[in-house]
Amino acid sequence: MNKFARGHSGFTLIELAVVILIITVISSITLPRIGNRLYASDLKQSVRRLKAMVAVARASAASDGVPRRIVCDIPNSRFTVEREVVEDEPADTDNEAADLTVEYEPDTSVLTRTLTLPSNVKIQDVVTGIGEVEKEGIAYLRIDPNGMILGNRIHLKKEDRDYTLVINPLTGRIKIEDGYSIEVYRKTE
């Protein structure tokens, strides 16, 4: 006679219920943590892509000597890069100087693309180069031909949490801070 035939030949209903209960408890503990990490990574991935966009725009501005700007489309939570185009308008008379018209066009570089934030991440506002806080519409962060960025804060909201992206004007590095913060510049006498 087979040694397994004498004892149990399968699992009892109670044993199966205990195993299912253990799997349920372990899953309920680990899956939310894994889900939160995956869910939080979309913000980090977007910031990495924005860092790359800023780096390419700074490098392009410095290499060809043409200013760029990061266009922050606040209602659509989208970023694009534009390059400056200067057009000379002829003078009306011999005594008047020609007028310069500064406009911008989309930067058609292979490395610059539109960055749209995930649906759960929204742009709250952008602190521009002149220190104004733009809360709606379009805001611009200008990049000079030397790579200096004018405008240094982008405030994001993800569900009920606020984040501040701080852009170093000299290096273009972006740091994420928890919460909503605005650096106050004070003139010292």
3-state secondary structure of 55: helix
Q: Which fold has domain 11-178?
A: minor pseudopilin epsh fold (3.55.40)
- Asked if 120 contacts 159 with a C-beta cutoff of 8 angstroms, the reply is yes
Residue that the structure tokens 């519409």 belong to:
137
| Mean pLDDT for all residues in the chain | 80
- Asked if 177 contacts 152 with a C-beta cutoff of 8 angstroms, the reply is no
Q: Which residue has the higher pLDDT, 64 or 183?
A: 64
- What mean pLDDT is predicted for residues 73-90? 86
Q: For the chain, how many residues are written?
A: 189
3-state secondary structure of 162: strand
β-strand partners of 78: 73, 116
Would you say residue 103 has pLDDT above 70? yes
Please name the residues in contact with 53: beta carbons below 8 A apart, sequence gap of 6 or more: 70, 79, 81, 112, 113, 115
Among the ranges 4-18, 55-69, 81-95, which has the highest mean pLDDT value? 55-69
3-state secondary structure of 114: coil
Q: How far is CA 181 from CA 16, 75, 121, 165, in A?
A: 53, 20, 17, 9
pLDDT digits (tens, 9 = 90+) for 7-60: 556 778 888 888 888 887 777 676 655 554 544 567 888 888 888 888 888 888
pTM over 0.95: no
Distance CA 88, CA 47 (A): 38
184: DSSP letter:
P
Residue that the structure tokens 């760029």 belong to:
68
Residue 46 phi, psi (nearest 5): -65, -40
Distance CA 148, CA 141 (A): 10
What are the strands, taking DSSP E only, across the chain?
Answer: 68-73, 78-89, 99-106, 115-116, 121-127, 133-134, 138-143, 149-150, 153-158, 161-167, 174-178
